[in-house]
Amino acid sequence: MPYADLENFRIDCRIKQQQIVFLQSMRSNADQRLQAGVENLFMPWRIITDPNGRRDATNVHNGYTNWLINQHLLKLSHECM
């Protein structure tokens, strides 16, 4: 999921469990973060040809996507009882 879509993810307490499973499945592991960093390193032309893809890869590499997923999961746990 692109980072911009993840930023606009809406919490719905009626389907809390489904959203938890979905968000957990979106986490990136260490290999995916490394791969995203290597892609950005060896494909600098993506700044011009695919700026959104490069931004998404940067966010994966830096761990921002996992951080944002954690924030959504935290919000789910606090707002949906």
pLDDT at 1 over 90: no
- Global pTM reads 0.90
Give residue 81's pLDDT.
Answer: 80
Give residue 74's pLDDT.
Answer: 96
Give the separation between CA 2 and CA 32, rounded to whole angstroms: 14
User: How wide is the angle at C-alpha 27 spanned by C-alphas 3 and 7, nearest 5°?
Assistant: 25
Dump pLDDT digits (tens) for 16-59. 999 999 999 999 999 999 999 999 999 999 999 999 999 999 99
Give residue 10's pLDDT.
Answer: 94
Structure-block tokens of residue 29: 């592991």
Dump pLDDT digits (tens) for 70-79. 999 999 999 9
Alpha helices in 1-81 (DSSP H): 3-7, 16-25, 30-42, 46-49, 51-62, 64-79
Dihedral pair phi/psi, residue 31, rounded to 5°:
-65, -40
Distance (Å) of CA 66 to CA 18, 25, 60, 71: 18, 11, 8, 9
